[in-house]
Chains A and B, each alone.
Chain A
């Protein structure tokens, strides 16, 4: 029996659907069954899509480099990972499509990070500076840093 759709290849798939009004029976070859979406091909996971898309390389890749962490687009494609929070801005024109294919979306719509100074990080950095200043025995500098640290403690008390 030949395929009902293409009438060329032998029908290997028999499809029957019982609808309220009628019974649909189809004899199809594998290719036409795919076309009608009757065979589910294994869905690819995002990580598999990523790995596949990263194989598409270009000679330009070595020249496109993140200005902060110096990751090249070529290395990004080799490892499949970003090097810092700036990489995405550098690589965006080249990986826009990749991100869209992975997520079926190209725009974040969820929670927003709160901007502004972060007390924890500032205090941490000041303490690092203080330690260095004390190691160098530059006590004047250390005193200044201590004063800055105090302002954070006052903020905290309020």
Chain B
């Protein structure tokens, strides 16, 4: 029986509202990589080292921090897919064959991957433009763990990581932006090229190598050495504000030129979501993009961005199966996804922890 939807329920109240500036910034994420001195890094670890690492980290976390621990080797492939869809784990964790785990803090927005490429990947996700706050929460946790464990550190190269591309701060901070107007006016490439010029990477919704869909773009730092963590985060926030301004201007231009055409597209998209009987994940992403655009521009008033965030998350292929508590084939999934969305948009069927 699949009923493990606990991690699907966003316990952060901000999700319901969508967070600050969420008409353009869907979410903010931070992760820091840390390793422990005296324990070999991934490529030199033996099974005994992995067991020891997991035990050690669990003993330290278990005593100080409230949360739920998941043994990655013991949970089902479907549950792993779901954790990936929720951004709790990386694709590397899907077919991992060594002792490893995930610790999700009670608040639900912060988690720790134990024994991925680095011993620890401490990460946080928040909706809207909330990068500064979520990052400081992640660093607070990192500091707390650092009281009990000696992080691998070198004066010149900072925190030592398995891969040389993470040396220094071990920090990867990102924002997920929804830029439909810039996509429409063909300006998006130019804007994002500018971001790349100043040392940022631009990717799709699910990070490295993922396709860009639904007008969603993830911007993150490429470099981890030679920049103070706070300065790096501030530069991403500043860049985000700049891109938001350009997107807002493009939205105004679009609406001045072709208001009815856009309202038509927005309401037709909403109508399809409200009445479809079979719907794929990609179609949902594209329709949600139009509806999100409609909410952000004030065309749609009776749906919150929080509901859109929730639908985007729950309608993913693995999540929808966990939501219904059944293993579903693709066609069945498309039918049940449509059912869930119809109910959700009619104000029923909110997900709650008691389900």
Q: How far is the CA of A132 from the CA of B117 in the complex (A)?
A: 30
**Contact call A106/B60, Cβ cutoff below 8 A:** no
Contacts of B55 in A (CB 8 A): 124
List the B residue with the shortest CB-CB distance to A69: B44
List the A residue with the shortest CB-CB distance to B160: A85
Instruction: Out of B36, B157, B165, B199, name the residue touching A108 (CB < 8 Å).
Output: B157
Q: How far is the CA of A84 from the CA of B167 in the complex (A)?
A: 13
A89 at the interface (CB under 8 A from B): yes
**Contact call A118/B147, Cβ cutoff below 8 A:** yes
Taking the closest CB of chain A, its distance from the CB of B200, in whole angstroms, is 10
Query: Known contacts A82-B41, A124-B56: does B162 contact A106 (CB below 8 Å)?
Result: no
Contacts of B304 in A (CB 8 A): none
**Contact call B226/A106, Cβ cutoff below 8 A:** yes
Contacts of B149 in A (CB 8 A): 118, 120-121
B228 at the interface (CB under 8 A from A): yes
**Contact call B168/A110, Cβ cutoff below 8 A:** yes
B248 at the interface (CB under 8 A from A): no
A105 at the interface (CB under 8 A from B): yes
**Contact call A102/B60, Cβ cutoff below 8 A:** no
**Please, how many residues of chain A have a CB less than 8 angstroms from a CB on the other chain?**
44
* B138-175 interface with A by 8 A CB criterion: 139, 146-165, 167-169, 171
Taking the closest CB of chain A, its distance from the CB of B220, in whole angstroms, is 11
B213 at the interface (CB under 8 A from A): no
Contacts of A88 in B (CB 8 A): 154, 157, 160, 167
Q: How far is the CA of A121 from the CA of B117 in the complex (A)?
A: 21
Q: How far is the CA of A114 from the CA of B150 in the complex (A)?
A: 8
A19 at the interface (CB under 8 A from B): no
A18 at the interface (CB under 8 A from B): no
Chain A interface, >50% SS class: loop
**Contact call B222/A45, Cβ cutoff below 8 A:** yes
* A29-46 interface with B by 8 A CB criterion: 40, 43, 45-46
Instruction: Out of A89, A109, A120, name the residue touching B227 (CB < 8 Å).
Output: A109
B201 at the interface (CB under 8 A from A): yes
**Contact call A82/B162, Cβ cutoff below 8 A:** yes
**Contact call A108/B169, Cβ cutoff below 8 A:** yes
**Contact call B225/A121, Cβ cutoff below 8 A:** no
**Contact call B225/A120, Cβ cutoff below 8 A:** no
A52 at the interface (CB under 8 A from B): no
One digit per residue, 1 when the CB lies within 8 angstroms of any chain A CB and 0 when it does not, for chain B 20-39 equals: 00000000000000011110
Q: A85-B154, A105-B226 provided; 17 other pairs, C-beta below 8 A?
A: A45-B201, A69-B40, A79-B43, A80-B163, A87-B41, A88-B157, A103-B167, A105-B227, A107-B156, A108-B226, A113-B146, A113-B159, A120-B56, A120-B60, A120-B149, A121-B149, A124-B55
B residues near A, CB below 8 A? 35-38, 40-44, 55-56, 59-60, 63, 117, 139, 146-165, 167-169, 171, 193, 196-197, 199, 201, 222-229
> When A and B form their complex, which 7 residue pairs have the shortest distance between CB atoms, in order from nearest?
A105-B226, A120-B148, A108-B158, A85-B152, A113-B153, A103-B225, A83-B44
